[in-house]
Amino acid sequence: MGNIILTGDRPTGKLHLGHYVGSLKNRVMMQNKGDYDKMYVMIADAQALTDNFNNPDKVRDNIIEVALDYLSCGIDPNKSTIFVQSHVEQLTELMFYYMNLVTLARLERNPTVKAEIKQKEFGPSIPVGFLTYPISQAADITLFNANIVPVGEDQLPMLEQAREIVRAFNYYYGEVLTEPKAIVPDNKICSRLPGLDGKAKMSKSLGNCIYLSDEEAEVKKKIMSMYTDPNHIQITDPGNVEGNAVFTYLDAFCNDDDFSEFLPDYKNLDELKDHYRRGGLGDVKIKKFLNNIIQKELSPIRQKRKEYEKNIPEIFDMLLKGSEQAIEVGAETLEKVKSAMGINYFKDIDLIQKQQEKYR
Query: Which of 6, 286 has the CB closer to ligand ATP?
Result: 6
Q: Residue number with the shortest CB distance to ligand ATP?
A: 22
Query: Which of 139, 272 has the CB closer to ligand ATP?
Result: 139
The Cα 342–Cα 173 span in angstroms is: 8
From 239, 248, 244, 241, select the one nearest 281 (Cα to Cα). Answer: 239
The Cα 177–Cα 98 span in angstroms is: 12
- Helices (H), strands (E): how many in the chain? 18, 5
Taking the complex as a whole, the smallest distance from the CB of residue 103 to ligand ATP amounts, in Å, to 24
- Binding region for ligand ATP (CB under 6 A): 9-10, 12, 18-19, 22-23, 151-152, 154-155, 191-193, 201-205
DSSP character at residue 12: S
Taking the complex as a whole, the smallest distance from the CB of residue 205 to ligand ATP amounts, in Å, to 3
Taking the complex as a whole, the smallest distance from the CB of residue 352 to ligand ATP amounts, in Å, to 45
The Cα 324–Cα 207 span in angstroms is: 34
Per-position DSSP letters for 14-37, written without gaps between them: --BHHHIIIIIHHHHHHHHH--SS
Per-position DSSP letters for 87-138, written without gaps between them: G-THHHHHHHHHGGG--HHHHHT-HHHHHHHHHTT-TT---HHHHTHHHHHH
Taking the complex as a whole, the smallest distance from the CB of residue 149 to ligand ATP amounts, in Å, to 8
The Cα 19–Cα 31 span in angstroms is: 16
Taking the complex as a whole, the smallest distance from the CB of residue 174 to ligand ATP amounts, in Å, to 31
CB 343 within 8 A of CB 182: no
Query: Which of 153, 179 has the CB closer to ligand ATP?
Result: 153
Query: Within 13 Å and on the Cβ side, how many CA atoms surround 70?
Result: 30
Query: Which of 20, 276 has the CB closer to ligand ATP?
Result: 20
Query: Which of 62, 97 has the CB closer to ligand ATP?
Result: 62
Taking the complex as a whole, the smallest distance from the CB of residue 185 to ligand ATP amounts, in Å, to 8
Taking the complex as a whole, the smallest distance from the CB of residue 10 to ligand ATP amounts, in Å, to 4
Query: Which of 24, 143 has the CB closer to ligand ATP?
Result: 24
Query: Which of 145, 203 has the CB closer to ligand ATP?
Result: 203
